[in-house]
């Protein structure tokens, strides 16, 4: 495994607006090693999703530097950044953001397009991963699946390309307590198995005991 940290943040600043009521986010320093798992806790409106979007290169900071697997993501432009994100960063969203009208298998295959392998190998890897995560009806449209099954597809999609870093944005917010615990166990275990670092943001106190490293945002 590479010794380069999965994530390094230095002097990261972002701001919406220019008045007294504007929103500001500042992260002086943050480092996440390969395979490490960190929970950032903060209430609603404190910038959790904004931070993840900055790390993923979906938004531009005003100042500072974000290194993912040793690469400065904001120094990349256009398609180069998109390819890097697809290969290096997995994302798990609160609402899953699965491709509607597509099957579980097709959703994971779409993520594997960034792996640069042929269609046959993409299908083999997607099938193997989904079955490993306990899904059998791989050809079922995701909108016909239960919430728990959709969560498994979302996790499979996030780790399909063996990313260095997985970002999870309130991943259990739409689940009841029992299913939330199962979902987090699935996410954390899968990241460990794949050697991916996990950065999870949440305001849910029940999540705190699941992480050995917890910080406030």
Note the pLDDT tens digit of each residue in 123-168.
999 999 999 999 999 999 999 999 889 999 999 999 999 999 999 9
**Domain carrying residue 140:** 33-58+76-216
**DSSP letter (8 states) at residue 103:** B
Instruction: Give the total number of structural domains in the chain.
Output: 1
- What pLDDT shows up at residue 18? 66
Domain membership of residue 153 (yes or no) is yes
What's the CA gap between 150 and 142, in Å, rounded?
Answer: 6
Domain membership of residue 89 (yes or no) is yes
Name the token pair of 52.
Answer: 């993840």
Domain membership of residue 129 (yes or no) is yes
> Cα dist. 122→112, 133, 160, 195, 209 in Å?
6, 17, 9, 20, 36
Domain membership of residue 63 (yes or no) is no
Domain membership of residue 68 (yes or no) is no
Q: What pLDDT band is residue 19 in, cutting at 50, 70 and 90?
A: low
- Indicate which CATH number applies to the domain containing 203: 3.40.50.300
pLDDT tens for residues 69-125? 999 999 999 999 999 999 999 999 888 899 999 999 999 999 998 777 788 889 999
Domain membership of residue 47 (yes or no) is yes
SS3 (DSSP) at 138: coil
What's the CA gap between 171 and 113, in Å, rounded?
Answer: 24
Closest-CA residue to 152 (of 169, 133, 139): 133
Domain membership of residue 1 (yes or no) is no
Average pLDDT, the chain: 92
Domain membership of residue 71 (yes or no) is no
């Amino acid at each position: 495994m590479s010794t380069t940290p999965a994530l390094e943040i230095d002097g990261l600043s972002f701001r919406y607006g220019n008045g007294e009521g504007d929103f500001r986010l500042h992260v002086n320093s943050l480092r996440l090693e390969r395979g490490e798992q960190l929970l950032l806790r903060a209430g609603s409106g404190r910038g959790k999703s904004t931070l993840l979007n900055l790390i993923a290169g979906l938004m531009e900071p005003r100042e500072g530097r974000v290194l993912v697997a040793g690469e400065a993501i904001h120094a990349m432009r256009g398609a180069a950044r998109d390819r890097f994100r697809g290969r290096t960063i997995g994302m798990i969203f609160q609402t899953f953001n699965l491709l509607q009208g597509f099957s579980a298998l097709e959703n994971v295959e779409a993520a594997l397009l960034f792996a640069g392998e042929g269609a046959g190998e993409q299908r083999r890897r997607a099938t193997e991963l989904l079955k490993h995560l306990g899904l059998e009806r791989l050809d079922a449209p995701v909108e016909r699946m239960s919430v728990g099954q959709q969560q498994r597809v979302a996790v499979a999609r996030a780790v399909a390309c063996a990313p260095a870093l997985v970002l999870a944005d309130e991943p259990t917010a739409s689940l009841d307590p029992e299913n939330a615990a199962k979902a987090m166990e699935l996410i954390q275990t899968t990241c460990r198995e794949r050697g991916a670092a996990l950065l999870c943001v949440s305001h849910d106190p029940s999540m705190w005991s699941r992480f050995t490293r917890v910080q406030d945002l």
